[in-house]
């Protein structure tokens, strides 16, 4: 199957894989061999976000990086509403179809709730978790609530996302600390999946559901105690202005008591872009801390 848009082959030198999903399809990467790592993105990113992590680790791990329906190269099925609940169901479909076992799950941004919704119900299939600038509970701080109202509201938020492609064009570059990393090819890779107003609707739905999915998020939070014995690495970019202060990191430390935490003073919201080396190191650390799902 042909790619729907062009990419710099030196930046994204991977084999595309496709999984039918109802009358749509999920695009994903499946690179390398070894312990299985599931890499989950947020808004408006896709598997491209993890390209440098994959390149560094594919001689040591099997790395699975899906694009949620409506993001990257995935095609949403008919009637898809792009809610985080549906995106989590799509990820779980991928896990079942590929029969993924003993997972190291890596989450950031909306990847947190999407991945944790699976994790809290399938602890026995998890080897460990890497958490970066994310949450898995109802928004309880003012910056996140205001962000949801501004970026996911109506009509201004919808206009910004669908007419101006604001998330991909503006928020992504501003969410990367190192300006030199925001190259022409990077900008193109994040804007290309959203060529039309209709295709950009998913980028509006996500911030809207920071408020609209409170009940779903509360259910995930109520089940976080299931992960009290899960080895965790927490990476936190302190330059993040999208509602992820250190207090949110501290909540993760409470929910994941078997954590090792690294605070990154030189990373913003998209930690994978600023410090892919530290993301790779965190995954390696989970591998070293565990053997066959057993903490050592």
Q: What positions carry a catalytic annotation?
A: 109, 240, 269
Per the structure block, which two tokens stand in for 42?
A: 């947020």
Strand 232-237 and strand 126-134: the pairing is parallel
CB 100 within 8 A of CB 36: yes
Cα distances from 187 to residues 133, 191, 213, in angstroms, run 21, 6, 30
* Omega prior to 23 cis, within 30 of 0: no
DSSP 74-128: -BPPTT----HHHHHHHHHHHHHHHT--SEEEEEEETHHHHHHHHHTT-GGGEEE
Distance, in Å, from the CA atom of 68 to the CA atom of 202, rounded to the nearest integer, reads 10
Cα distances from 293 to residues 25, 102, 231, in angstroms, run 31, 6, 9
Distance, in Å, from the CA atom of 260 to the CA atom of 249, rounded to the nearest integer, reads 12
Residue among 66, 102, 55, 81 nearest 279 (CA):
55
Q: How many CB atoms lie within 10 A of CB 169?
A: 15
């Amino acid at each position: 199957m042909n790619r729907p848009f062009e990419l710099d082959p030196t930046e994204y030198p991977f084999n595309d894989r496709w999984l039918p999903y109802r009358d749509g399809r999920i695009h994903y990467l499946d690179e390398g061999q070894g312990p299985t790592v599931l890499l989950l993105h947020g808004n408006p990113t896709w598997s491209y976000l993890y390209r440098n992590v994959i390149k560094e680790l594919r001689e040591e791990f099997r790395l699975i990086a899906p694009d949620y329906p409506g993001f990257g190269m995935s095609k949403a099925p008919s009637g898809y509403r792009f809610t985080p609940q549906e995106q989590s169901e799509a990820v779980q479909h991928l896990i079942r179809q590929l029969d993924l076992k003993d997972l190291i799950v890596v989450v950031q941004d909306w990847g947190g709730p999407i991945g944790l919704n699976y994790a809290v119900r399938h602890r026995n299939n998890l080897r460990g978790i890497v958490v970066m600038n994310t949450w898995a509970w109802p928004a309880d701080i003012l910056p996140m609530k205001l962000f949801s109202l501004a970026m996911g509201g109506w009509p201004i938020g919808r206009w910004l996302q669908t007419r101006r492609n604001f998330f991909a064009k503006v928020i992504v570059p501003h969410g990367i600390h190192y300006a030199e990393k925001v190259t022409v090819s990077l900008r193109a890779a994040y804007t290309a999946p959203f060529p039309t107003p209709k295709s950009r609707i998913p980028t509006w739905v996500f911030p809207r559901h920071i408020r609209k999915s409170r009940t779903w998020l509360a259910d995930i939070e109520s089940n976080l105690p299931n992960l009290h014995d899960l080895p965790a690495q927490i990476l936190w970019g302190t330059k993040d202005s999208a509602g992820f202060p250190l207090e949110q990191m501290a909540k993760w430390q409470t929910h994941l008591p078997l954590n090792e935490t690294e605070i990154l003073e030189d990373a913003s919201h998209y930690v994978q872009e600023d410090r892919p080396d530290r993301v790779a190191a965190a995954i390696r650390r989970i591998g070293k801390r565990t053997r066959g799902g057993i903490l050592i």
